[in-house]
Copies of this chain bind each other. A is one copy, B any other.
Amino acid sequence: MSQNLNHAEHFAGKHVLITGGLGFIGSNLARPLVAAGAQVTIVDSLIPQYGGNLFNVDGIQDCVRVNIADVRDPHSMAYLVQEQDYLFNLAGQTSHLDSMANPHADLEINCRAQLSILEACQKHNPNVKIVFASTRQIYGKPDYLPVDEAHPLRPVDVNGINKMAGERYHILYNNVYGIRATALRLTNTYGPRMRIRDARQTFLGLWIRLIAQGRPFEVWDGQQLRDFTFVDDTVDAMLAAAMNERANGRVFNLGGERAITLKELADLLIQANGGEGRYEIRSFPPNRKPIDIGDYYADYTSISEALGWQPRVHLREGLELTLKFFRQHLEKYL
């Protein structure tokens, strides 16, 4: 599954902590680490609506330690970071809309908890290597395409602002205290175990749920360009960032094989579903306009050059794998 053949060797016997580890990306990351023989501890708060799901560790539940805790709790985190070789720091509030409705909760999780985690590492485990899941949202509306890491950061929602701060804390603690950290700016990630209950995290989850249920889905506008990373590719990037000292203190975009309009994506999803499914084009809701960023796709040259990463799973194939998973396990994700 994984492009880096030396994962297994590298992570065997290592102690690895994954915050947000019952979520979509965290649980997909846990699997190759368990397979490699790592001692994996998952921290998750299982806050309803945030994406944590115990079924996500189905099949590996006896090979990981699941610790239910909230990353906002500095005491739990101070204990949990100790003696870890790697920390994959994926816990976060990721909903644009929730961040606007409740900006303080977003701040607590995406800023204050991140500071607590970094302070805990500085005090109790300065040798840990951290990989932080950042997001393309921090760019805001692109000035140019594709967007590289030098693009200005002008987030258009509270979530983007707080994630930007969270990312910078990691780089700061790398630079000032030598706590090795890499930030990956994820674009739209999709795949098995993603959150599909609603569009709180991504519209694509909702599309997948509806098509799997044989129901029509809505495409807003349809002409916007986006890029998509299959979760196995995202996981590969995280493992590569963890393994490579060259990644320390760096920030890297992830990206997709190509930019695609949402209408093309909808058509591709229907093809991946054996030709079954239908959608309706709707105009973009006026109340979403202020946080609409137009087209976005990433330039991922930087991580390609530094770590040899590139997306491997084609969109059609990734969508097929995703639909196959959800057809099998739909009721666990509703």
Contact = CB atoms under 8 A, between A and B. Distances in A.
Given A103-B119, A152-B150, A172-B156, A165 B291 contact: no
A189 interface: no
Contacts of A162: 165
Interface in A185-234: none
Given A115-B104, A176-B291, A290-B176, A161 B165 contact: yes
Interface range on chain A: under 10, 10 to 19, 20 to 34, or 35 or more? 20 to 34
Contact of A111 (B100, B107, B150, B291): B107
A279 interface: no
Copies in the complex: 2
A137 to B, nearest CB: 12
A158 interface: yes
A153 interface: yes
B103 A165 contact: no
Interface string A86-125: 0000000000000010011001000110011001000000
A311 interface: no
Interface string A152-182: 1111111001101100110110011000000
- Determine the main DSSP class of A at the interface with B: helix
Contact of A165 (B154, B164, B172, B175): B164
Interface in A124-161: 150, 152-158, 161
B152 A152 contact: yes
Contacts of A119: 103-104
A109 to B, nearest CB: 13
Interface in A252-270: none
Contacts of A153: 152-153
A171 to B, nearest CB: 8
A176 B100 contact: yes
Interface of A: 100, 103-104, 107, 111-112, 115-116, 119, 150, 152-158, 161-162, 164-165, 168-169, 171-172, 175-176, 290-291
5 contacts: A104-B112, A107-B111, A107-B112, A156-B175, A157-B172
